[in-house]
Every structure is written in structure tokens, then in C-alpha cells.
Structure 1
Amino acid sequence: MRPGLIVSTGSATHPGHRRALNEDAFLASAPVFIVADGMGGHEAGERASATVIEEFALYIGRTALELDDVRIALERAREGVEHLSTSGNGRAGTTLSGVVVASVDGMGYWLTMNIGDSRTYRLADGELEQITVDHSVVQELIESGELTVEEAASDRRRNIITRAIGASSTGDADYWLFPAELGDRMLVCSDGLTSEIPDARIREILETESEPQRAADALVAEALAAGGRDNITVVIADAVSVASRPGTLLATDDHDIDMNTRPREVAGGVR
């Protein structure tokens, strides 16, 4: 079967200026592009994020995944992370955000997932759109009207998350499914990037650096220059070939295209 979506990727990670250990982990190999930000201390966070990546790495080489594939990997990852906590590795936990290649009627789709406060964005037609919604205390306060977005950026509770894999959390992941378009640029990152650089600057870098690896390196360098107070991880996936109809691939190097579709959240499955 010919793939409905082919991507070009870039990735970069750095422990930051204040952390001796990098508890972030990532996977940037088709059909999976994800970032996990570990927590728990005493290497528990590093092992938790690595556990999630190991489960999703089993899908490398597949043409596309289904929602059930993602849910199975998440369930296995949750069991593995919980085992870390019960085997003396502290209160292990991790966030997870990212996108996998999916297929609907032979056409390429993005299936985005999120649990915690790592993020997935889409750049298209000059617009940077945050696909995922943070599972955090400050996000809940923003939604209730108790905080503005500007106030949340410096609020002392900004690092408190409300869902995770492990860390005694039972919260489910959220999912979004939407058609891939030629020129889509998907950005997946830990909060070490978004806590240092505003979205407007992220968009400028993504538009300026057309090659995905250079863009990933530039984003991490910018976050380090801005303070680098946390681990920083960036994964970029560019849609370079997309099936316009079953069995037909279109390819382009032009990232400046019109978008007429928007992500929609899915709960029951890919449909």
C-alpha cells in the first residue's frame, strides 16, 4: 500500500542551563512524531519518558496508524510507568504530545494526541495554530476566566499539570483528527520551548527556516538564549507528499499554501 502521507523531519533536544539531566524523550520516525517530558526526580522522569517512547517505537515503519494503535501503546506505556513507581523509582510520570500518520480512505491524515502540557502545533498558510490543549492548572484558570493568557505565563502554578501518564494520574489523552495538506508543518515540543519563547517568535522561526532540522536547531538555540530553564525538545514533521485521492500522491516543496480544513477532536475513534 502506498502511503497517503510522506513527511520530512527534524528534531533537537537539550537539557537546558539549569538541569543536569534531560528527562525529555522523543521519537521522530514515520509514522510517529512525539515528545514526552518526564517528571519524578531520581531518574524516574527520564525512565518514564523513555518507557513511552519505547512503546511507540514498535510502530516505526508502518504506513499509518489507527486510533486503537495509539490507545494500545498508551495503555502499555501507562502500565510500564506505573511499574516504575511501584518498583522504587519514585513518583514516575510523563507528559506526551505529538502526531502520528493516519489514513482515511487511502488519504493522509494527522492524528494528534496529548496528555499533560507538552504541545503540538500546525503551521499552515502563515498561521501557527496550537492543536492541543494543555492539561494544567493555569489552563483551567484561563478557561474559567480567572487568569488571562498573559498572567498565566508568569503565574507560579504554571508548571502544575492535571493529567499525566503515571504520577498517580488516571486522566485520559485527548485526540484530534484532520486531513494533511501539502506544506503542513507540525511542531511537537516540551514546555521547555513554550515557556521561553512566545508563539509569535516560534512562528517566525518556523517560517524563516524552511529545512526542518535547521528549524528544530534554531528553536532550541533560541530557547537556550532566552534562559533555558528547563529541558527543551522539538520535533518537526513537514508534509511533503499527500494523497489527494486514494492512490494519488501530490508533492511540493512550497509550504505557503491555503488551508481549508481545521482539526476536530475525536473521542470514540477515527471516523
Structure 2
Amino acid sequence: MKAIFLTDTGRIRQRNEDNGGIFTNSTGDCLAIVADGMGGHNAGDVASKMTVDLFNQSWESSLKFNTAESAENWLNERISEVNLTLFEHANNHAECEGMGTTLVAAIFTADFATIANIGDSRCYILNENGFQQITEDHSLVNELVKTGIISKEDADSHPRKNVVLKALGTEQKIEADIKTILIEDGDYLLLCSDGLSDKITEIQMREVLETDNTIEVKAQTLIDMANQNGGEDNITIILIEISADAESRCSEC
């Protein structure tokens, strides 16, 4: 497995409130995280950084994930713990009141990937079945699409498309969407904040991933395209290329 993490402030904002990373535990399993912070002043920075740091601390001591159930349980437990820590921090620090962060996180083993998401940061997969989004946004426009009030095309230009209905740290308890998928040699997984998905279509993403370029070039191309299309938001991506070579598993570029 090869993986790369890139984050960019974008062309408009002065501060990058996104965070993320790729982490390997002692057993060789891999954890990838993208967190898009929100809140006044520096609160978004705090929420996303705390989330990534807390996940990494727990990941370092995690055991081998032999089953999907064990990976799903680990993510569910960590999300509950991190959410409560963020919630209490915000309540105890006036400058962080109302802070929160989206989250998309994935555990990768040799055979499967377990993905959790809260908010509108996403995970996509490119495999023999094509390119598709495998997470579902917790956002206002997605609810409007699901209920048939607006079309998916209308959602792309909706004035409130950035309104999220669920974020880590904003409530005392929260429930993430968690699912496990099988992965095979040659698959690509893309985790990203909405700074990418709001600016590049799925067709464009697929075209970039299907080139013969290295994953470093593919990832940077996606960042550059988002900036060329406006770059109004921070842009963060993790691109993972699945390889059958166990020794290359979770090597970060």
C-alpha cells in the first residue's frame, strides 16, 4: 500500500483549519484521517488538530485487526471518546465555544478497509466497478436531495451547501456512519475535505486517478485543480493505492 497526505490553505483563506495524517501501528495496519475544523477564531484549528492527535495516540497502542467487527468497534469507541473530549474542551474554554470538526477516517488491513465519517468530508473508491463515493454527507443539501426537494445537480450550487448537520465535538454524544469494504490490488481510495469535493467533479477525480502518473503527482494535480477552480476553502486529501505486496503496505510518500 502506498499513501500520500496533502493539505493546502487554498487561494482565499488565511488559515488552514484542516488537519489529517496517515499512521501505522506496530502490527502494520494503517489509519488515515481527514478532519475539517470549524468554529470562530482558532477553534477550527484546535478541533481538527486535537482530533488527529487523539486518534494517533490511541492508534499507536492498537492491536491487530483481524476482523471487520474489531475495526468497526475500535473506530466507534475512539469517535465517542474524542467527541466527548472536544465537547468538554469547548465548554471549558470560551475561545473554543462552538468548535467542531468533520471526520473521515479509514482503517486499512491487507484485506479490508473500515471507513467512518461525520459531516461532509468524504471517501471515494476507484476499483473494477468504477469510481464512487462510499460515504454519505451529513449535510443540509444531502437531506434535501434524499427527500426529493432538490436534485443532485441543484445541490452543487445551493447557497447552503456547506451547512453540515453533524460534526465531531458539537454534541455530548454522536454517532458516525461506519462501514467495511473489501479492497484488492490496484484499488484507489481517496479521502478528502469538501475543499476538494466542492471544486472537482467525480468525473474529473476519476480521470486524474486513471492516469499513469505516480500517486504523488495525482494528489498534487487534484489540489491544483481545486485551486484553479477557485480555491475558496482549505483543501485536504489522502490518496491510497492498494498493493498486493504486503511489505509495501502503508508506506507513506
TM-score range, shorter chain: 0.7 to 0.9
Partner of 1:255: none
Partner of 1:11: 5
Give the alignment of 1:125-204 within 5 angstroms: 125=128, 127-168=130-171, 170-204=173-207
Deviates more, 1:187-196 or 1:29-38: 29-38
Question: Which residue identity is paired with 1:32?
Answer: L
Question: Which residue identity is paired with 2:52?
Answer: I
Give the alignment of 1:232-243 within 5 angstroms: 232-241=235-244
Assess, with a 3 A threshold, how the Cα gap between structure 1 residues 127 and 76 changes in structure 2: closer, same or farther. same
Partner of 2:42: 43
Assess, with a 3 A threshold, how the Cα gap between structure 1 residues 221 and 60 changes in structure 2: closer, same or farther. farther
Assess, with a 3 A threshold, how the Cα gap between structure 1 residues 75 and 158 changes in structure 2: closer, same or farther. same
- SS of 1:241's equivalent in the other structure is coil
Of residues 75, 80, 85 in structure 2, which corresponds to 1:70? 75
The superposition leaves residues 206-257 of structure 1 with CA deviations (integer Å, 9 ceiling, x where unpaired) of 1115422221111111101110010000001111127xxxxxx699xxxxxx
Per the TM alignment, residue 52 of structure 1 is displaced from its structure 2 partner at its CA by 1.0
Which structure 1 residue ranges, 5 or more long, are not aligned?
1-6, 243-248, 252-271
Partner of 2:87: 82
- Give every structure 1 segment of 4 or more consecutive aligned residues whose post-TM-superposition deviation is greater than 6 Å: none
Partner of 1:114: 117
Partner of 1:4: none
Which structure 2 residue ranges, 5 or more long, are not aligned?
25-29, 249-253
Q: Is the 8 A contact 1:10 1:214 kept in 2?
A: no
Per the TM alignment, residue 81 of structure 1 is displaced from its structure 2 partner at its CA by 1.1
Q: RMSD in angstroms over aligned alpha carbons?
A: 2.1
Partner of 1:24: 18
Percent identity, aligned pairs only, is 32
Rounded Cα–Cα distance in structure 1 between residues aligned with 2:87 and 2:229: 35
Q: Is the 8 A contact 1:82 1:166 kept in 2?
A: yes
Rounded Cα–Cα distance in structure 2 between residues aligned with 1:171 and 1:160: 17
Q: Is the 8 A contact 1:118 1:134 kept in 2?
A: yes
Give the alignment of 1:51-62 within 5 angstroms: 51-58=50-57, 59-60=59-60
Of residues 218, 221, 224 in structure 2, which corresponds to 1:218? 221
User: Which structure has more helix as a fraction of its residues?
Assistant: 2
User: Which structure has more strand as a fraction of its residues?
Assistant: 1
TM-score scaled to structure 1, two decimals?
0.81
Q: Is the 8 A contact 1:14 1:232 kept in 2?
A: yes
- SS of 2:111's equivalent in the other structure is strand
TM-score scaled to structure 2, two decimals?
0.87
Q: Aligned residues, how many? A: 236
Per the TM alignment, residue 98 of structure 1 is displaced from its structure 2 partner at its CA by 2.7
